[in-house]
Amino acid sequence: MRGSEISKRGRAPSCGLQCGGGALKAILWTAILVFAAYAAYKLIPVYIANYQLVDKMQEEARFAVVNRYTEDQVRDMIYKQVQELEIPVKKEEIKVLASQQVVRISVDYTVPVDLIFYNMQLHFTPSSENKALF
């Protein structure tokens, strides 16, 4: 009997189809997490830039009403911010309506994002409006 016990202990366990399943799951989950981190790295800055543009547009709309800026002055200020944020917008695409009663600013743009396996277009239409108090 002792001989049979030794031979059973010395033999590698038979695992059939389950051998390597844990390693494959770990590799798959690691790949998914790496892709999610890469996607976040590519997408989050685009959304942050849009948020900063919206904030600047609201700020300029407020000041433009009070300071009586012309449409070209407002457009120049917004375009400067667009260039700083590296947003793909031409100066002519910034729409401004400035009068003594109201200032409206709007921009319509699309940002291409390459996610290795998938190319996407993020479309943004930020706008701001401010009316005079009188």
Tens digit of each residue's pLDDT (9 = 90 or more) over 39-56: 999 999 999 999 999 999
Q: What is the mean pLDDT of residues 56-81?
A: 92
What type of residue is 124?
A: F
Please report the pLDDT score of residue 18 as a whole number. Answer: 56
Contacts of 91 (CB under 8 A, 6+ apart): 75, 79
5-31, pLDDT tens digit by residue?
444 555 555 555 555 678 888 999 999
Instruction: Give dist(CA 59, CA 81) in Å, integer.
Output: 12
Structure tokens at 50: 């849009």
pLDDT above 90 for 108 = yes
Q: What is the mean pLDDT of residues 51-72?
A: 91
- List the domains of the chain with CATH numbers: 45-131 (3.30.1300)
Please report the pLDDT score of residue 120 as a whole number. Answer: 94
Band the pLDDT of 101: cuts 50, 70, 90.
confident
